[in-house]
Amino acid sequence: GQQLNQSPQSMFIQEGEDVSMNCTSSSIFNTWLWYKQDPGEGPVLLIALYKAGELTSNGRLTAQFGITRKDSFLNISASIPSDVGIYFCAGQPHTGTASKLTFGTGTRLQVTL
Amino acid sequence: NAGVTQTPKFRVLKTGQSMTLLCAQDMNHEYMYWYRQDPGMGLRLIHYSVGEGTTAKGEVPDGYNVSRLKKQNFLLGLESAAPSQTSVYFCASSYGGVTNEKLFFGSGTQLSVL
């Protein structure tokens, strides 16, 4: 099956820094999702995007649906220690087809004080 | 405020043994899913269900069976475990209809097959 490429694979940043990560696909998606997974837990939905070009925020997190429909971006501003975890993107080709969700390989974020 | 509950949290099996993982959700969700998570890979769908009494194959169904006898429960079975099935297994659920992409995940089961 198809995999989404996430970049970077991992990153070490200092508290207070901004973070950017992205997700690219060879296929077009109608929906992009961003999840965060804390150590030892399951992924939790952060942001859902439904239109090309859409920019959506959730607190210090901002995600964008790429205009080509083949990519998405997640930014975290002013990182804090609890931002540590693995961030996954997921793409869905058609509305209402969660069984067709494709997940990225994840970006592991480490925050140093 | 349970959400999606998976049991057990950890399990070690010998090759050829069988086991069942239990997933329970208390959100009255129509859809339920079983994923596996392996290092360096995204979550991969094993089986899913769009309602009580229904099941369907996902991307990697071989070696697994599922049942959804009650709306709130989704069971994943391994009839004859193999080392390749060593993984972290996640159950998820979602509402039916157009918002079914918003998955709610359990905390996972770490399975090791020796």
Percent of chain B with pLDDT over 70: 96
CB distance A45–B90 less than 8 Å?
no
pLDDT, residue A100, reads 81
For residues A30 and B102, give the distance between their C-alpha atoms in angstroms, rounded to a whole number: 14
Number of A/B CB contacts below 8 angstroms equals 67
Which candidate, A37, A19, A45, places its Cα nearest to that of A105? A37
Q: Give the pLDDT band (50/70/90) at residue B24.
A: very high
For residues A76 and B31, give the distance between their C-alpha atoms in angstroms, rounded to a whole number: 31
Mean pLDDT, range B16-34, rounded to an integer = 96
For residues B89 and B10, give the distance between their C-alpha atoms in angstroms, rounded to a whole number: 10
All residues of chain B having their beta carbon less than 8 Å from the beta carbon of residue A33 are: 101-102
pLDDT, residue B42, reads 85
**Angle, vertex CA B98, rays to CA B93 and CA B101, nearest 5:** 40
Contact A24, A4 (CB under 8 A): yes
Residues of A in CB contact (< 8 Å) with B are 1, 3-4, 31, 33, 40-45, 48, 88, 90, 92, 95-99, 101-106
Q: Left, alpha or beta for A31 (phi > 0: left; psi -120 to 50: alpha)?
A: beta
Contact A4, A91 (CB under 8 A): yes
Q: Tens digits of per-residue pLDDT, A17-56?
A: 999 999 999 999 999 999 999 988 999 999 999 999 999 9
Q: Give the pLDDT band (50/70/90) at residue A96.
A: low
All residues of chain A having their beta carbon less than 8 Å from the beta carbon of residue B50 are: 99
Q: Give the pLDDT band (50/70/90) at residue B26.
A: very high
Percent of chain A with pLDDT over 70: 96
Contact B23, B5 (CB under 8 A): yes
Q: What is the DSSP letter of A15?
A: T
pLDDT, residue B96, reads 75
C-beta atoms surrounding B59 within 10 Å: 17
Q: Tens digits of per-residue pLDDT, A43-54?
A: 999 999 999 999
Indicate the residue type of B92. A
Q: Tens digits of per-residue pLDDT, B46-95?
A: 999 999 999 999 999 999 999 999 999 999 999 999 999 999 999 999 98
| Region of poorest pLDDT, from A75-89, A97-111, B14-28, B64-78 | A97-111
pLDDT, residue B82, reads 97
Query: Is pLDDT at A2 greater than 70 in this prediction?
Result: no
Q: Left, alpha or beta for A40 (phi > 0: left; psi -120 to 50: alpha)?
A: left
